[in-house]
Chain A
């Protein structure tokens, strides 16, 4: 399978990108601070717990606060992986067309869709490793330092990977017909739109405003990345924490349906196929 040759090349090339190296260093920094922060939180909680117990005052539920800490950690992981996805793959086809490196690749006995698929798989592989490592850092921190394990870690991780795949499909598709810069601006705007749409939906839920909720739903049809994150966040918290937090910028009380997941998977696949079809006819 020639696509795997391209995937391997893309994986290696991705790891060489300054942006990727930068995000990796930032992520490392984030993990260090997260571990430290979680440690401080646990210390703090124990002090409060002891003080309140001495006064005979009721103690809050630890689970809710530990869960909020995990939620913040995973939200950051999801955001960083989204940024990395877009900026690592933004010029994958376009920049190679601009520099001319594709001119020696395309005439080889490889189908054009295999080139697109290979690039997709290369980035998807790299980013999946990143997501798994980051989610593991957050979850293990909570478990080891905070003695708390969030529910549905596997489903949650898969959904964060799905968010990445949605953004990757979008970016790769754009890269087959837009210049690197245009594509970067456009995809990042769409990503921002999805996040804002999600926020608007949360506000709508809090205020019980139909229009705001509808705006959120439409934005999640245009780019379903944020709705998949919200489903992940819903699954990764105990029901107690979901109810306590209510509608909020990082999670939701009304999780998207199973149909939304099917839609998101189909969205990622269709955009990838569209990228293959566009690239098939593209002059290089």
Chain B
């Protein structure tokens, strides 16, 4: 197990220049509050995961940030410019959750259309379109009508469309919803490639393993507000679970241990094991100190790595997943 997991990352690993800043974004439809209060910063060059249960307001948030819907209140800046700024939009790529295109166009024509909308010159489009088609693995079918594409291929052309302008910020709303496992792996690699090129990626997904493998930082939203945000490592080690591997288990030790950590399970035997949750590393150090003082042989203290899924379920179920 990787012990550095317990170490808190206090600064974002990439940069401190925010490229997406949301200040109290709020969206109300009639009586239904879709987004309560969204405030967050996304820094340049990071892959930012945006998670939440269904109906938490993820897509509404992305739609506000990309200018599709008007916030009821609050504001946001992208690349330092207010929402709707054309210069900022020139540098943004967006794959909508509902990826539907003018499907009577051929793949290449569709990209040509979107290239024109980005204001790319004929020369730029001629150079860039084959590039992005290759990037998403559609080089062979660029001459076919989008209507003839499978769902997965349509999602891929949607990703191609979002990368056409060499964007500095890319919003991907559930980019792998229609893809098979191979396609998902391709997208994961693509995201990592974007990251290595310094592109900021705002990834909206509920595939937690996908988010866990590519994201630098994560926000979890529930009921339209951010309930947890931070670097992936910090989020995963927010509450530590450790396993104490002991040589013996004298009477009273378990209850004594409870003063420092929350004991979750005890496996007795010749080599007893105690599984416990700690609020932070100091608590673990104190617990080890206690064990040593009581003369209990400590063979190992193994941090248990929690998956993002466990953290997610934990946070969301604590909040109550059902919307009001």
Contact = CB atoms under 8 A, between A and B. Distances in A.
A180 B312 CA distance: 41
Smallest CB-CB A-B distances: 3 pairs: A103-B96, A100-B100, A283-B69
A284 B89 contact: no
Contact of B66 (A99, A107, A111): A107
B68 A283 contact: yes
B116 interface: yes
B50 to A, nearest CB: 16
A206 interface: no
B177 interface: no
Contacts, number: 63
Contact of B100 (A103, A107, A109, A284): A103
B119 A104 contact: no
B114 interface: yes
A107 B68 contact: yes
Contacts of A111: 86
B68 A284 contact: yes
Interface in A90-111: 99-101, 103-111
A211 interface: no
Contacts of A283: 63, 68-70
A13 interface: yes
B299 interface: no
Contacts of A103: 68, 96, 98, 100
B284 to A, nearest CB: 47
Contacts of B69: 283-284
B161 interface: yes
Nearest to A111: B86
B94 A104 contact: yes
Nearest to A281: B70
A55 interface: no
Interface string A258-284: 000000000000000000000001011
Q: Which interface residue of A9, A104, A106, A110 has the most chain B CB atoms within 10 A?
A: A104
A110 B214 CA distance: 32
7 contacts: A100-B98, A104-B94, A104-B96, A109-B86, A109-B117, A110-B86, A281-B70
A283 B35 CA distance: 14
Interface in B220-278: none
B67 to A, nearest CB: 5
Interface string B60-101: 000100111110000000000000001101101011101111
B185 interface: no
B100 A9 contact: no
Interface string A105-120: 1111111000000000
Given A103-B68, A108-B117, 4 more contacts: A9-B102, A9-B113, A100-B96, A100-B98
B118 A104 contact: no
B100 A108 contact: no
A5 interface: yes
A111 to B, nearest CB: 7
Contact of A5 (B86, B99, B102, B117): B117
A51 interface: no
Given A9-B113, A101-B102, A103-B98, A109 B68 contact: no
A180 to B, nearest CB: 15
Contacts of A284: 63, 68-69
Contacts of B113: 5, 9
Nearest to A9: B113
B114 A104 contact: yes
B166 to A, nearest CB: 14
Interface string B138-150: 0000000000000
A46 interface: no
B104 A105 contact: no
B158 interface: yes
B116 A5 contact: yes
A109 B89 contact: yes
B115 to A, nearest CB: 10
A281 B72 CA distance: 11
B92 to A, nearest CB: 7
Contacts of A105: 117
A2 interface: yes
A5 B112 CA distance: 10
Nearest to A4: B116
Contacts of A13: 102, 104
Nearest to B158: A104
Contacts of A109: 86-87, 89-90, 117-119
Contacts of A104: 94-96, 99-101, 114, 158, 161
Given A5-B116, A9-B113, A106 B67 contact: yes
Contacts of B86: 109-111
A103 B100 CA distance: 8
A101 B67 CA distance: 15
B295 to A, nearest CB: 66
